[in-house]
């Protein structure tokens, strides 16, 4: 055999280069490895249009999606009016957000669209944009540009895997979140009982209440008879037929839009357009704060809703994937003239309660909404507002955590305070602020409770050596209590501090140990530290004199300290 034999020279009878085949297999193998890496790192699950493992079916997804589409119309229109923009922009936003997140999102069955939490921020953005450019339509263009930047921020959050931090949200904050959101949804529906700014009265009010009650009764009783058709969709259809056939005078989708200055929901397909603004630093400084606020609100509400849907369906979604999908949806809105949005807890619950489980339900809702805009506007505009209000009232009843009253005297007082705090802030201010406030208060309570757990067992051995055996984590919250355990002046010449049952958590703890050792050394006493991790030893001054190394028993963990490498280098140079 030729000593220079190589694989590249092998050909079969037809002249096929086997080396080329080998290279192709190598490429395929590398792609498979890369795909597996992406799947593991970003929770990329196979695309499933229908989730049959969780009770999903084509029929349920289609009918629940249609139900959600009907409920989306007045919501999208109302939020567009809140933001001071055309209702068509709100409908486009609901369609694009719903479609993108349904296909690419991390939580099948969750519905996204235009939301009130983001619309409230958009009010001042559109208003200030109009003033900045001196034109009535300029604010809308600034909104589109802001959505592009907000979308990029959300995509970045997903790529950097920041969605995992939703795990840091305590259950008490979650309960306050759903309670506050239920109240907000309820209050928003009360506005539907007004006509031309005045509260309904007389026969108009009684008709409205009767139709709302009829819708709620159908939704409550129909599941007891059959679950093959969505109760919400049945309620909307039945009440609509009663109004149309009975020729009842009540508010409809059409009259609601007209009363708020619109003309209807009929429009064409959204078209691509780059925002018509001056791209400059001044523009960037103007839209950047709004973009960060909108991105934060969208991500927090979406991830909280994802957690809630996870609990309702006993499944697990991908927060990071949802962040990327939410960002992509907002970027698409910025280029195609939608108002953007995020996950909608009300519509998501309608979808889940109606049997929607897979991506098909969200896709159906988005495409049905587009169909309404293009072809079915004349029919959808006849749907009575009372039927949609009844559906939302049932959502309120299903969203509110009634178990809050059962645990009132059973959970710690701090948790009840957090629940009430998050609920109140959600109603009075904003969802994002409420969740952040709840997490901060819960974190402070946790730190305070753990700060009280630092303990020290003291004894003097037969050789006259004073021992301090430390129990509990040592961090910024318990520094004062930790220092109070030591009696530097009255301690003997030799002192041993044992951290076997403790852990050094942060920089404050490191500095505390440094100062304590300096106090002992200043009094001419010898101090020995035991069972510290290697990184703690490197950061403690004069460690070679005061630390006893026990290779077999010393723990191995890292300390949460700022600029760890710089601190090590600084100590090494001393």
| Strands 112-113, 342-343: pairing kind | antiparallel
Q: Tokens 């035991």 correspond to what residue? A: 530
Please give the pLDDT value at position 368: 95
Residue of 194 and 46 predicted with greater confidence: 194
Average pLDDT over residues 42-68: 77
Residue 251 sits at the vertex; the CA angle it makes with 245 and 257, to the nearest 5 degrees, is 125
Average pLDDT over residues 179-197: 85
Average pLDDT over residues 3-28: 48
Nearest one of 267, 282, 464 to 377, comparing CA atoms? 267
Please give the pLDDT value at position 570: 58
Its sign, for the CA torsion 330, 333, 334, 338, is negative
Q: How far apart are the first and last CA of the chain?
A: 67
Counting residues of the chain whose pLDDT is more than 70, the rounded percentage is: 85
Which residues does 242 contact at the CB level (< 8 Å), separation at least 6? 211, 214, 248
Structure tokens that stand for 469 in this block: 């055996």
**What are the CB-based long-range contacts (under 8 Å, 24+) for 237-242?**
238/214, 239/211, 239/214, 239/215, 239/384, 239/386, 239/387, 239/390, 240/382, 240/383, 240/384, 240/387, 242/211, 242/214
123-165: per-residue pLDDT in tens?
889 989 888 877 778 889 999 999 999 999 999 999 999 888 8
- Residue 166 pLDDT > 60, yes or no? yes
Q: pTM for the whole thing? A: 0.72
Distance CA 131, CA 151 (A): 25
- Residue 473 pLDDT > 80, yes or no? yes
Q: What is the DSSP letter of 197?
A: T
- Residue 434 pLDDT > 50, yes or no? yes
- DSSP for 500-569 reads EEEEE-BHHHHHHHHHHHHHHHHTT-EEEEES--HHHHHHSTTHHHHB---TTT------B-TTHHHHHH
- Residue 41 pLDDT > 60, yes or no? no
Helix (H) or strand (E) holding 387: helix 385-399
264-274: per-residue pLDDT in tens?
888 999 999 99
Distance CA 73, CA 341 (A): 14
Please give the pLDDT value at position 364: 95
């Amino acid at each position: 055999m030729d000593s220079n034999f190589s694989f590249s020279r092998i050909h079969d009878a037809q002249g096929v280069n086997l080396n080329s085949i080998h290279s192709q297999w190598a490429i395929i193998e590398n792609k498979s490895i890369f795909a597996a890496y992406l799947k593991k790192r970003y929770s990329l699950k196979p695309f499933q249009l229908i989730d049959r493992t969780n009770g999903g079916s084509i029929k349920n997804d289609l009918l629940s999606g249609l139900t959600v589409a009907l409920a989306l119309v007045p919501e999208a229109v109302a939020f567009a009016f809140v933001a001071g923009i055309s209702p068509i922009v709100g409908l486009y936003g609901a369609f694009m957000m719903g479609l993108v997140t349904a296909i690419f999102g991390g939580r099948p069955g969750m519905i996204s669209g235009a939301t009130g939490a983001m619309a409230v921020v958009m009010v001042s953005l559109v208003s200030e944009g109009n003033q900045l450019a001196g034109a009535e339509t300029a604010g809308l263009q600034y909104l589109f540009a802001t959505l592009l930047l907000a979308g990029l921020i959300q995509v970045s959050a997903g790529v950097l895997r920041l969605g995992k931090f939703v795990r840091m949200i305590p259950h008490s904050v979650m309960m306050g979140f759903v309670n506050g959101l239920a109240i907000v949804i309820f209050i928003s529906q009360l506005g539907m009982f007004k006509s031309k700014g005045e509260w309904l009265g007389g026969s108009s009010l009684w008709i409205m209440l009767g139709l709302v009650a009829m819708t709620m009764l159908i939704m409550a009783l129909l599941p007891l008879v059959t679950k093959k058709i969505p109760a919400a969709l049945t309620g909307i259809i039945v009440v609509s037929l009663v109004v149309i056939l009975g020729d009842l005078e009540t508010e409809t989708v059409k009259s609601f839009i007209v009363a708020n200055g619109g003309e209807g929901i009929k429009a064409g397909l959204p078209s691509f357009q780059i925002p018509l603004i001056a791209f400059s630093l001044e523009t960037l400084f103007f839209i950047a704060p709004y973009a960060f606020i909108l991105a934060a609100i969208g991500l927090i509400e979406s991830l909280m809703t994802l957690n809630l849907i996870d609990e309702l369906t006993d499944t697990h979604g991908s927060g990071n994937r949802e962040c990327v999908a939410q960002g992509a949806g907002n970027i698409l809105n910025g280029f195609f003239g939608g108002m953007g949005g995020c996950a909608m807890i009300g519509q998501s619950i309608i979808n889940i309660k109606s049997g929607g489980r897979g991506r098909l339900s969200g896709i159906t809702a988005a495409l049905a909404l587009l169909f309404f805009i293009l072809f079915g506007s004349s029919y959808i505009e006849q749907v009575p507002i009372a039927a949609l209000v009844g559906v939302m009232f049932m959502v309120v009843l299903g969203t509110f955590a009634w178990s809050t009253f059962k645990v009132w005297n059973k959970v710690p007082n701090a948790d009840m305070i957090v629940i009430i705090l998050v609920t109140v802030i959600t109603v009075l201010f904003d969802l994002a602020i409420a969740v952040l406030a709840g997490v901060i208060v819960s974190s402070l309570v946790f730190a305070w409770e753990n700060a009280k757990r630092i303990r020290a067992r003291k004894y003097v051995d037969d050789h006259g050596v004073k021992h301090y055996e430390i129990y509990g984590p040592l961090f910024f919250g318990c520094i004062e209590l930790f220092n109070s355990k030591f009696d530097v002046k009255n301690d003997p010449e030799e002192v041993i501090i044992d951290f076997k049952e403790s852990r050094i958590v942060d920089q404050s703890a490191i500095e505390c140990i440094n100062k304590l050792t300096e106090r002992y050394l200043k009094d001419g006493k010898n101090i020995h530290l035991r069972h510290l991790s290697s990184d703690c030893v490197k950061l403690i001054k004069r460690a070679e004199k005061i630390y006893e190394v026990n290779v077999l028993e010393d723990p191995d963990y890292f300390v949460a300290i700022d600029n760890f490498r710089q601190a090590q280098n600084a100590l090494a140079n001393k």
